[in-house]
Amino acid sequence: MKEFVCTITSNVEIVPGVNLAWLEAPHIAATAQPGQFVTLRCEDFILRRPLSIHQVNSGRVAFLFKVVGKGTLWLSQRQKGDRIDILGPLGKGFGIEAGSRNLLLLAGGIGISPLAFLAQHAAVQHSVRLIYGASTARELCPLSSLPSGVQFVPATEDGSMGRRGLVTDVLPDFLEWSDQLYACGPMGMYRAMSELACHSEAAEQPKNLTRGKAREESKLKKCQVSLEVRMGCGIGACYGCSINTKKGLKKVCHDGPVFELDDIIWGEVKI
């Protein structure tokens, strides 16, 4: 983790309310892992803004962000040549188990940000399928930079592109194929996945197996999720982003932002 002043090379609105910014950041590009993030200093605001690393390419780093407040509005107005203070890379990213071959990625809305980097990183040695959903086709961010080997499965709630429905509606069709599942999206998506995991566990539990054994056989057992929360310090000092897990209190910025789906006590998460 280091602090850098980086130069913007481009910053454009790619869908309404969502910007894609590229910065010259060779030190971050060389060390960043999928799922990690940075914090940016936005003008004179006290709190830095955390952003997932979206892509890396030839010493440059891309950030995909939604304009939701004064800080991201200021960031969306920066121009080519402007310089921004960045701290990173931060946090714990996604992990791929040695025996995994087929990776299933599940993105909802702006949750595509860290998963695009994971797809870019993993497609070299793994088979990757990406389910990406939004309310309408107009809200799906362009993914022209995805490696050619990645199978893209779009889903929209109104049926204007790809499958009709939520990404969690499409998910069951691909579970048998996958060795590991990775997700990033809104809280409702995670809660639905957690409920699906509980239902799968109950359905797959033979009478002569223990509950622990049945959990190992659940298709959602090997599921990693990336949490996006408001952070105070971004380095684990303030406990402002703490969540309750089955392994105790964890700090999203330090112990995450990537966690195992079934480790998180979703009923107590308020983000």
Q: Using CB atoms within 10 Å of the CB of residue 143, give its burial: 0 to 12 exposed, 13 to 18 middle, 19+ buried.
A: middle
H or E segment to which residue 211 belongs: helix 211-217
Q: How far apart are CA 84 and CA 111, in angstroms?
A: 23
Cα atoms found within 13 Å of the Cα of residue 61, Cβ hemisphere only: 29
Torsion of CA 253, 258, 260, 263, to 10 degrees: 10
Q: How far apart are CA 111 and CA 64, in angstroms?
A: 9
Q: What's the token pair of residue 140?
A: 């799906």
Convert the pLDDT of each residue in 32-45 to its tens digit. Answer: 999 999 999 998 88
Nearest to 8 by CA among 110, 88, 85: 85
Q: How far apart are CA 168 and CA 165, in angstroms?
A: 8
Domains recognised in the chain with CATH numbers: 2-90 (2.40.30.10), 102-268 (3.40.50.80)
Q: How far apart are CA 173 and CA 175, in angstroms?
A: 6
What is the residue-level pLDDT of the chain in tens, covering all 271 positions?
689 999 999 999 999 999 999 999 999 999 999 999 999 999 888 889 999 999 999 999 999 999 999 999 999 999 999 999 999 999 999 999 999 999 999 999 999 999 999 999 999 999 999 999 999 999 999 987 788 889 999 999 999 999 999 999 999 999 999 999 999 999 889 988 988 876 655 555 554 444 433 433 456 768 999 998 777 788 888 888 899 999 999 999 999 999 999 999 888 776 6
Biggest CA pair distance of the chain: 65
Convert the pLDDT of each residue in 127-173 to its tens digit. Answer: 999 999 999 999 999 987 788 889 999 999 999 999 999 999 999 99
**Residue type at 61?**
V
Its pTM stands at 0.90
Q: What is the pLDDT of residue 201?
A: 53
Q: What is the pLDDT of residue 219?
A: 63
For residue 5, count other CB atoms closer than 10 A to its CB: 10
Q: What is residue 191's three-state secondary structure? A: helix
Nearest to 266 by CA among 180, 188, 168: 188
Q: What is the pLDDT of residue 271?
A: 62
